[in-house]
Structure 1
């Protein structure tokens, strides 16, 4: 499915959206940068079946921070609620924090057999920029994003793409990115 982003006022329902502030289903678990100790920047949230949400975050700061591309580097996060916080992350209970921009509602449109490169995709199979970098374990592909609706794009490197994966049994996610 291809996401279509529509500018919106604040979205406070537990639905798929990008930008704005997270709609927490449980106690807030805002991830902190391993290197800087500051809050990561909120990208968006994706609804899962069974009243669950996946929250995507990435460290984005004026000073360079290494390992934002690594799924367990402590500089990005794919959190599932309800679910445990992965052991490699530090979190705070702050409900709000830095974001990439205002709320954008998301509608998912069928791909109808399209082929070729997809900047944004929810479900299906990832279209890798480089090599297959599937996280170890029982993760399934959730989404990829290379062109988000924000004025300031996330730094996925040179024409890069971010990839989100979820292990629904463990209740954990992983987020990584690749670039050219």
Structure 2
């Protein structure tokens, strides 16, 4: 392992698990969200169009790391406007161009998809989790790719741990309790340009949650 001047830590990578069904109840990017009764598809505050569903993340996966109380575990579903990319402030956690919705882990059904707007990704990718000991997230990605003889773009992000910010720390505060939110996951754009999420070209998305308050937040940097 390369010595990058940081102590080694345990990093949980989210890796490509192959194509999965659009309605699979597993961690995934793409597909159709599973939602509670009474769900309204989120719409962009700027253009009023329906947002694109990006990812289904199991917040319960963090309970083993001590980040989220087991009783508060659930599903974080991430949405972002792509109807007019770049003009709806979709990178900002509070501008209304994206949403991260925290749902309970049970009682969810397939959401009706709006007929208009850019709402779904072109590909539905299952997510596996792999634990790597590394100094930083970028090193963990490289080590995984070398060990598996796989492209580094098959690393779809990281679950929990410490955000690897591309710019400055933008950890959001919970709108309900005003405390810093727990880091849930970092998302890479995806394996292929044609099916990737749009984080400005080579950017990363960052998902957060405050489980006691039932709040989620999302932003991206490039």
Could you state the TM-score of these two structures normalised by the residue count of structure 2?
A: 0.68
Q: Deviations over 1:69-109 (max 9, x none)?
A: 110110011101139xxxxxxxxxx6224111232111100
Match of 1:144 in 2: 186
Local SS of the residue matching 2:195: coil
CA distance in 2, matches of 1:48, 1:34: 26
- Determine which of 6, 25, 28 is the counterpart of 2:39: 28
Unaligned stretches of 5+ residues in structure 2:
1-11, 61-70, 106-110, 142-155, 174-178
Instruction: Give the 4+ runs in structure 1 shifted more than 6 A.
Output: none
Match of 2:28 in 1: 17
TM superposition shift of 1:38: 1.1
- Determine which of 167, 172, 191 is the counterpart of 1:130: 167
CA distance in 2, matches of 1:101, 1:132: 31
Local SS of the residue matching 2:26: coil
CA distance in 2, matches of 1:29, 1:80: 13
Unaligned stretches of 5+ residues in structure 1:
84-93
Between structure 1 and structure 2, the one with the greater Rg is 2
Work out whether 1:112 is the aligned partner of 2:133: yes
Structure with the bigger percentage of helix: 2
**Root mean square deviation of aligned Cα:** 2.3
Match of 1:77 in 2: 99
Pick closer, same or farther for the CA change 1:9–1:140 going to 2, 3 Å: closer
Match of 1:91 in 2: none
Counting matched residue pairs gives 169
Match of 1:154 in 2: 197
